[in-house]
Chains A and B, each alone.
Chain A
Amino acid sequence: MHKSRFLWALCLPAACLSQSFSGETFDEELAIRALPDGKVASRFEFSTLLHGASPRNPRNLSSEDDSQHYTLFPLALGQVLRRYAVTELHLTLNAGKWNYDRWGYPDEPDVATGASMWTWMAEGSPIPRHSVDARWRDLRNALAGLFCASLASLDEQRTTSPVLAFVPQGALPAWPQTEPHALRHASLPSEHVCTENLTPFLKLLPCKSRAGLARLLNPHRLLDADWHGMGLHVSWLPEEGVRVRLTFQSVTDPLRAGNTRDWSLSSLFDRKIETACPVAASSRVVVTLPTDESYSIRPEPSFVGQGRGIFDLASQPLPLDVGLHWPTAFQYTTLPTAQSPLSVRRTLHGSSQDHSTLAVSIKNAGPAVVRVAYLETLPWIVHLYLHTLELSVDGVSRADVLHDLSYTAPIPHGRAAALEAVLDLPPNSTVSLRLGVGRAFLQYGEHPPDAQRGWELPGAVVVVLPEHPGNDSQRRIYTSALLVDPATPDFSMPYNVIIFSCSLVAFIFGSVFNGLTRRFVVIAAGPRAE
Chain B
Amino acid sequence: MKSSLDVSLVFPLLVAGRLLLALTSLSDALKHNHQLSSPLTSYLNLQEGIYLFQNGIDPYSGGVFRHSPLFLSLFTTVLPRSRVISSIIWTLSDALGAWALVQIWRTRQRVAQTSRDGLIAAAYLLNPYIFLSTLALSTSTFENTFALLALMFAAKGAASPALLAAAFLLQISLSSVLLLAPLLLLIASSPISQLASPRPFAGNGKKIISLLIEFLVFTVVLTLASALVSGGWSWVPQTWGASLTLPDLTPNVGLWWYFFTEMFDHFRPFFLMVFSVHLLIYVAPVCIKFQYDPLFAAFILLGILGTFKSYPTMADPGLFLSVISVFPELYPYLRYPIVTTLLHLHAALLMPLFHHLWLNQGTANANFFYASTLVFACANGAALTDCIWAGLRIAIGEPQEGFVVVQE
Contact = CB atoms under 8 A, between A and B. Distances in A.
Interface of A: 351-355, 380, 383, 385-387, 405, 407-414, 417, 436, 438, 440-445, 487-490, 493-494, 497-498, 500-501, 504-505, 507-509, 511-525
B404 interface: yes
B40 to A, nearest CB: 13
Given A352-B32, A500-B374, A512 B358 contact: no
A517 B260 CA distance: 31
Nearest to A515: B388
Contacts of A355: 32
A501 B258 contact: yes
B34 interface: yes
B207 interface: no
Given A354-B250, A409-B59, A489-B261, 7 more contacts: A355-B32, A411-B61, A414-B63, A505-B275, A505-B308, A508-B381, A521-B405
A399 to B, nearest CB: 13
Contact of A490 (B308, B365, B381, B407): B365
A497 B359 contact: no
Interface residues on chain B, size class: 35 or more
A21 B249 CA distance: 60
B276 to A, nearest CB: 12
Interface of B: 32, 34, 44, 47-48, 50-52, 55, 57, 59, 61-64, 247-251, 255, 257-265, 275, 278, 281-282, 285-286, 289, 304, 307-308, 358-360, 362, 365-367, 370, 374, 377-378, 381, 384-385, 388-389, 392-393, 395-396, 399, 402-408
A412 B307 contact: no
Given A354-B34, A524-B402, A441 B261 contact: yes
Given A386-B52, A445-B265, A523 B406 contact: yes
B388 A354 contact: no
Contacts of B32: 352, 354-355
Nearest 9 A-B pairs (CB), nearest first?
Answer: A409-B62, A387-B51, A508-B381, A494-B262, A518-B407, A511-B385, A412-B63, A515-B388, A497-B262
B250 to A, nearest CB: 5
Contacts of A442: 249, 261
B96 to A, nearest CB: 27
Nearest to B356: A352
A488 B407 contact: no
A490 B370 CA distance: 10
Contacts of B250: 354, 440-441
Given A490-B365, A514-B407, A413 B261 contact: no
Contact of B62 (A383, A387, A441, A501): A383
A511 B360 contact: no
Nearest to B385: A511
Contacts of A440: 248-250
Nearest to B42: A438
A514 B388 CA distance: 10
B408 A519 contact: yes
Contacts of A417: 62
Contact of B408 (A383, A412, A521): A521
A353 B359 contact: yes
A351 B360 contact: yes
Contacts of B278: 505, 509
A59 B62 CA distance: 32
B91 to A, nearest CB: 22
Given A409-B52, A515-B389, A522-B403, A441 B408 contact: no
Nearest to B395: A520
Nearest to A487: B359
17 contacts: A383-B64, A385-B47, A385-B64, A409-B52, A409-B61, A409-B63, A411-B61, A412-B247, A441-B249, A441-B250, A441-B261, A445-B265, A508-B307, A508-B377, A516-B289, A517-B285, A520-B405
Given A497-B370, A511-B385, A443 B360 contact: no
A90 to B, nearest CB: 28
B262 A513 contact: no
B3 to A, nearest CB: 39
Contact of B285 (A410, A504, A516): A516
A520 B407 contact: yes
A522 B396 contact: yes
A439 B21 CA distance: 29
Contact of B247 (A413, A508, A511, A513): A413
A116 B403 CA distance: 81
A385 B389 CA distance: 47
A500 B370 CA distance: 10
A493 B374 CA distance: 15
B55 A489 contact: no
B138 to A, nearest CB: 15
Nearest to A412: B63
Contact of B260 (A443, A514, A516, A522): A443
Contacts of A521: 405-408
Given A444-B261, A488-B366, A490-B366, A516 B286 contact: yes
Q: Which of A354, A436, A498, A512 is packed against the most chain B CB atoms within 10 Å? A: A512
B44 A407 contact: no
B377 A504 contact: yes
B407 A489 contact: no
Contacts of B48: 385-387
B263 A520 contact: no
Nearest to B396: A520
B407 A519 contact: yes
A410 B367 contact: no
B259 A501 contact: yes
Nearest to A492: B367
Contacts of A512: 282, 304, 384-385, 388
Contacts of B50: 387
Given A409-B52, A504-B377, A498 B259 contact: yes
Contacts of B396: 520, 522
Nearest to A387: B51
Given A353-B360, A354-B34, A525 B404 contact: yes
